[in-house]
Chain A
């Protein structure tokens, strides 16, 4: 079966990517605005999606805006911010019912695109500033979001591992900014900042659904591009990936936990732009990406030390993270077993079965993404962000061609950087 393809169209200095497909019952819209990840702006970027979701020029109150979305057959609408390498990306999404499946409904596509564009380009503002009451409410909400990270011990431990490992690098900044920087932001400064973003930041628009390319192009030209300044957009640089480790960092935090959390961070020296990226994906899959992987088999199945123990790759900064939840008295034992697995990878101790299973499950993971509109968009946008166009066919072919030797070469590049443990308070005396 062939894979979905996007047609990319330049609208002024914006890119519009369209994927016509009749397998979904909705039409999915998405917009990505790419910013550098910087301490000066990370908190503002984190605040923006929620402020923009509060009201627009035509629907100046949140209740009016939300009611309009409901009238569009519950158009799902969201705004968020995420981190890829040292970039912080604003994402907006909308999902519109396809009227073919409704008993009685007018076409929702034009109304939907108009509202989607208005939420991004014409948020509610007066006297060149956002509504101060929206901004103040969203500041409180953001503060609570940042504070509550500590209440989710698994996420908290993962974040503390990143902070320890990447201290001094932009990547250490939290996706949702810094609580201390919230106070200084006001309705005017945030509005001014957003205007700069709209003028300078690269923008990618997406549409997936049972649509005609020409129609979507015309609608986005009318409701988005015609309202934009035609300034040059500045490319945001890719993160520095190469990083050699002199000494493994160890960090321990103590909080009131029932179970210790163990996070280990590695530098892979490889990013999504590199030729050996498919081999890195295979490395991660054999090490800890699946239920047949070394970490799961050794830490959980052989030793019964954990319920979860897995690894994941950050492909735009070249990092690999291992995470597990471990009874405190077993933390050292678990660290030893995990280190043994890293060494086994370096020695090329990979069975034919592990190679075959990981190729099969990794390829499956990528192919499954084809059946979800937001994943289709996400995969395509990854390649836009990396500056290296890569189709799914191409990636699958390369994954399939990876050899044990290729994986061993990756293993030789991977360096353990940081071991982070979140422990309970009892042992602290």
Chain B
């Protein structure tokens, strides 16, 4: 077991890669009641075309990663694994994103039992024709719930405006039609491809003893048989630099229009790993903060003119193969908002970010990162996401401290190019 000290943050992380390939990270947090664990596979909704070395290439129905996540809770005993977690006093859950599927629990008692339950249920799939059919009704209702959520719709509207081919534009849950094609055979195929320990990461954080927990995990994994790890090729269609549609308009049942905008990363900007990737993300966030946070004159003028309201926000997504900034919110004046943004961003490109602005936002970001480290959930999920991109969560603050004004101004020029801009507009019916 390797010990990784972060003295400034007073955190010590423990790491071991097990013989079956599983990466295990443990972060003891003295004083915490809770233990939070995530068991994550590097497999999300975008991985819909793949090939295991020596096998044929598969294209699977949209929404299958998420469907598989639902079905993992089924066990051969006929008992839903939620029941077992509940007996052991844990709150269990799972989620599927574009690039990951994570199974998790939090508990304040019976940590050992809960951890074994987590490892075992994720490594013992049990799919039948009948339990697969049953889930179609439930997920169908989940899809309809999202259909009634205009914020979700406008978010996907923007991604569709950005991407012509990349599967990030497909809804994570798929459609009622696409999930109707899912069978237990396709589920097993996806499972055996992506749930091999060598494609997974276990993170445990909380009031734990690292030695004891590592021994437990090591023994549990040593007792199971896995095929040798096979290289997985994932295929994504060619995506050009250009946005798919500069402006996508949807009519929905809303009182207030929703306007989301952003810039799509060019292909040269979506393949960095490690500290370079982290630096790109942090510099982009600083640009967004300088221009669009409530401490900017621009935000305040939009707010006081009634163009935006408190729902206005921004974020940056960066994953291997795609990336984009996003900002916006509810507005009764979407055209005016778009116009003001399209005036402000070029103005910024010519003036750049000032040293004083940079200094303030750098401090703000350092404080916000420190605050995030209070959250066990954030640590586990973010650590895993960064690890899958060969970056390290604990490098955020040191990287922020080293970032310079020049880095930020360089990023500003690279990212915020007018031809990369797109808008998603939700209008009342």
By a beta-carbon cutoff of 8 Å, the part of chain A in contact with chain B is: 1, 3, 21-26, 50, 61-63, 66-67, 69-76, 95-98, 100-103, 133, 137, 140-141, 144-145, 147-148, 150-154, 255-259, 290-292, 300-301, 304-308, 325-327, 353, 356-358, 360-361, 363-365, 367-368, 370-373
Contact = CB atoms under 8 A, between A and B. Distances in A.
A151 B253 CA distance: 7
B366 A74 contact: yes
Given A1-B207, A148-B330, A101 B253 contact: no
B373 to A, nearest CB: 5
A372 B207 CA distance: 14
Contacts of B370: 25-26, 73, 97-98, 101-102
Contacts of B368: 74, 76
Contact of A368 (B34, B300, B365, B367): B34
Given A256-B253, A258-B148, A360-B87, A101 B296 contact: no
A9 to B, nearest CB: 24
B77 interface: no
B250 to A, nearest CB: 13
A150 B306 CA distance: 20
Given A26-B374, A151-B253, A259-B145, 15 more contacts: A26-B367, A61-B300, A141-B303, A147-B256, A148-B256, A151-B255, A256-B253, A257-B148, A258-B144, A292-B83, A307-B142, A360-B109, A361-B91, A364-B89, A372-B374
Contacts of B58: none
Contact of A259 (B87, B147, B297, B306): B147
Given A147-B256, A257-B253, A353-B87, A326 B141 contact: yes
Interface stretch (B132-140, B180-188, B343-351, B407-415): B132-140
- Cβ-closest 3 pairs across A and B: A304-B137, A74-B367, A73-B367
Contacts of B364: 69-70, 73-74
A389 B82 CA distance: 34
B141 A66 contact: no
A318 to B, nearest CB: 26
Contacts of A74: 363-368, 371
Contact of A71 (B83, B144, B360): B360
A145 B8 contact: no
Interface residues of B, number: 73
Nearest to A303: B137
Contacts of A98: 370
A16 B206 CA distance: 30
A108 to B, nearest CB: 9
24 contacts: A70-B361, A70-B363, A74-B364, A74-B368, A96-B367, A103-B401, A140-B309, A151-B254, A151-B255, A154-B145, A255-B253, A259-B147, A290-B91, A291-B86, A357-B83, A361-B86, A363-B109, A364-B89, A364-B91, A364-B106, A368-B91, A368-B106, A371-B33, A372-B375
Nearest to B258: A151
Nearest to A256: B253
A133 B91 CA distance: 47
Contacts of A141: 303, 309-310
B255 A133 contact: no
Nearest to B93: A291
A100 B9 CA distance: 8
Nearest to A148: B256
Contacts of A301: 80
A76 B136 CA distance: 42
A301 B82 CA distance: 11
A169 to B, nearest CB: 27
Contact of B108 (A26, A103, A367): A367
A96 B374 CA distance: 12
B398 to A, nearest CB: 9
B371 A97 contact: yes
Given A63-B295, A152-B149, A307 B33 contact: no
B376 interface: yes
A306 B143 CA distance: 11
B293 interface: yes
B9 A101 contact: yes
Contacts of B92: 291
Given A327-B141, A357-B86, A365-B91, A137 B303 contact: yes
Contacts of B361: 70
Contacts of A144: 256, 309, 330, 332
B418 interface: no
A62 B310 CA distance: 14
B304 interface: yes
B29 A50 contact: no
B129 to A, nearest CB: 15
A147 B255 contact: yes
A303 to B, nearest CB: 8
B35 to A, nearest CB: 10
Contacts of B108: 363-364, 367-368
B429 interface: yes
A292 B256 CA distance: 38
A304 B138 contact: yes
B360 A70 contact: yes
Contacts of A69: 295, 364
A71 B256 CA distance: 35
Contacts of A363: 89, 108-109
Contact of B366 (A66, A97, A372): A97
B313 interface: no
B86 A325 contact: no
Contacts of A257: 148, 253
Nearest to A360: B89
Contacts of A153: 148-149
A124 to B, nearest CB: 14
Contacts of A368: 33-34, 91, 106, 108
Contacts of A305: 137, 141
A382 to B, nearest CB: 18
A291 B30 CA distance: 30
Interface in B55-90: 80, 82-83, 86-90
Given A62-B294, A70-B295, A258-B148, A25 B374 contact: yes
Contacts of B207: 1
A52 to B, nearest CB: 14
Contacts of B254: 148, 150-151
Interface in B111-135: 134-135
B321 interface: no
B270 to A, nearest CB: 28
Interface string B206-225: 01000000000000000000
B228 interface: no
B296 A63 contact: yes
B226 interface: no
Contact of B144 (A22, A23, A327): A327
